[in-house]
Amino acid sequence: MTEQLYKILSKENIEQFSYSLRSSGKIYAPVKTSKESHSFKHVESLKEADLGYTRTMIPPKKFFISPSETIFTFNKENEEYYEIQATDEPLVLFGVHPCDLNALNLLAKVYLESFTDKYYNERRENTTIIGISCTPDEHCFCKSTGTDYAKDGFELFLHDIGDRYLVRVGSLKGYKLLEGNSSLFTDVTEEDIELYKIAENERLGSFTKNLEMSGLQEMLDLNYDSPVWEEYGEKCLSCGSCNLVCPRCRCYDVQDHMDLNLNTGERVRKWYSCMLQEHGLVAGGHNFRATSKERLRNRINCKGSLKEDMPNCVGCGRCTTYCPAEIDYVEIIQKLRGEIQ
């Protein structure tokens, strides 16, 4: 059983393995785009990728829920509409971290279980996901949210243990990838297991940011009128950056755009942000979250939710890292708990 589920891939062979992955689709991997940012981009070779990255600015959910997409076009005069095909070209996501894998697992529950979104479904079926381990920085707290390890949601997962990777199989598709490239993989030895233990202990010991998750929902309920919301609401710019970079935010807006002939047009679905003032605007001009304080409270409560039986925050640290007002999510929770003043 161990030989079937775990293998070793030498880092010397990873480039050759990536060449064989091209038969599964275009390869997208983390690429350094600026001094402080990475992005999943199409690469011809993994030499272009930075597999030692900490986080991308925009999470890999962009491959399954497009930031903006046309759902259908229409013709009023002919009373016709033309649905856009959901199928995208096959692709390989190489180097997805555990926090983002867990985020995609939650999105799958949202988009596939109660109501199947055909766009998400077909894109996931056309995607091969290769996960990879990472080292946390000062903003990571995925250990606290229990999302520093991914049990599923991938084809293969690569644990860095020095000059090689311990490879974990997560799906039948992943097992077939091993079978098709058997010459590149070797069996796990006792030495490999010891190296894995050392690497995991070092990784777990390197977390410096912690968030107490016990009773978080009750703590948020009891602090509904806390002055903390006013304090951070005054700092918040209501720009929505935290929503755009969050791997688990799933709100979207649907708009109809008419052409100048007032006859034809298109229906567009795009990412939306609960931090924008117009998000709470309803018919009659009433806004049920008119202030930044109310919108911030709503978002923090959303991230503390366990509605899908898993945390709505995966501890990736993106919202804190990319907030132009330098609002720290963990700091807010700690103040609500009375851990800091």
159 and 16 in a single domain? The answer is yes
**Using CA atoms, how far apart are residues 182 and 20, in angstroms rounded to an integer?**
12
224 and 87 in a single domain? The answer is no
Of the candidates 31, 1, 7, 28, the one whose C-alpha atom is nearest the C-alpha of residue 177 is 7
190 and 224 in a single domain? The answer is no
Q: Which among 205, 230, 253 is the end of a domain?
A: 205
**Using CA atoms, how far apart are residues 60 and 251, in angstroms rounded to an integer?**
16
**Using CA atoms, how far apart are residues 73 and 81, in angstroms rounded to an integer?**
6
Residue at token pair 């609960």: 274
φ, ψ (nearest 5 deg) of residue 141: -140, 30
Instruction: Please give the DSSP secondary-structure letter assigned to residue 264.
Output: E
For residue 94, being part of any structural domain is answered with: yes
**Using CA atoms, how far apart are residues 316 and 215, in angstroms rounded to an integer?**
21
235 and 197 in a single domain? The answer is no
Considering its fold, how many domains does the chain have in total? 2
318 close to 245: Cβ distance less than 8 angstroms: yes
180 and 103 in a single domain? The answer is yes
Check residue 2 and give its pLDDT.
Answer: 42
**Using CA atoms, how far apart are residues 119 and 110, in angstroms rounded to an integer?**
13
- Domain coverage including residue 284: 216-337
Of the candidates 318, 315, 182, 321, the one whose C-alpha atom is nearest the C-alpha of residue 246 is 318
Instruction: Please give the DSSP secondary-structure letter assigned to residue 85.
Output: P
pTM metric for this prediction:
0.93
Check residue 86 and give its pLDDT.
Answer: 73
141 close to 54: Cβ distance less than 8 angstroms: no
Check residue 4 and give its pLDDT.
Answer: 53
163 close to 10: Cβ distance less than 8 angstroms: yes
Check residue 3 and give its pLDDT.
Answer: 45
**Using CA atoms, how far apart are residues 289 and 275, in angstroms rounded to an integer?**
9
Residue at token pair 């990536």: 18
43 and 192 in a single domain? The answer is yes
For residue 63, being part of any structural domain is answered with: yes
Check residue 306 and give its pLDDT.
Answer: 81
For residue 210, being part of any structural domain is answered with: no
156 and 286 in a single domain? The answer is no
79 and 224 in a single domain? The answer is no
pLDDT digits (tens, 9 = 90+) for 254-286: 999 999 999 999 999 999 999 999 998 888 989
**Using CA atoms, how far apart are residues 91 and 61, in angstroms rounded to an integer?**
13
248 close to 315: Cβ distance less than 8 angstroms: no
**Using CA atoms, how far apart are residues 99 and 178, in angstroms rounded to an integer?**
24
For residue 137, being part of any structural domain is answered with: yes
**Using CA atoms, how far apart are residues 207 and 140, in angstroms rounded to an integer?**
7
Check residue 84 and give its pLDDT.
Answer: 86
Which residues of the chain are under the pLDDT cut of 50?
A: 1-3
171 and 265 in a single domain? The answer is no
91 and 137 in a single domain? The answer is yes
Residue partners of 129: CB distance under 8 A and separation at least 6: 92, 93, 96, 101, 104, 153, 154, 155
For residue 211, being part of any structural domain is answered with: no
**Using CA atoms, how far apart are residues 118 and 196, in angstroms rounded to an integer?**
39
**Using CA atoms, how far apart are residues 112 and 106, in angstroms rounded to an integer?**
10
For residue 24, being part of any structural domain is answered with: yes
Of the candidates 111, 98, 86, 75, the one whose C-alpha atom is nearest the C-alpha of residue 263 is 75
Q: Which among 180, 205, 230 is the end of a domain?
A: 205
For residue 47, being part of any structural domain is answered with: yes
29 and 175 in a single domain? The answer is yes
Q: Which among 173, 205, 237 is the end of a domain?
A: 205
221 and 170 in a single domain? The answer is no
For residue 134, being part of any structural domain is answered with: yes
**In a 3-state reduction of DSSP, which class is residue 130?**
strand
**Using CA atoms, how far apart are residues 197 and 207, in angstroms rounded to an integer?**
16
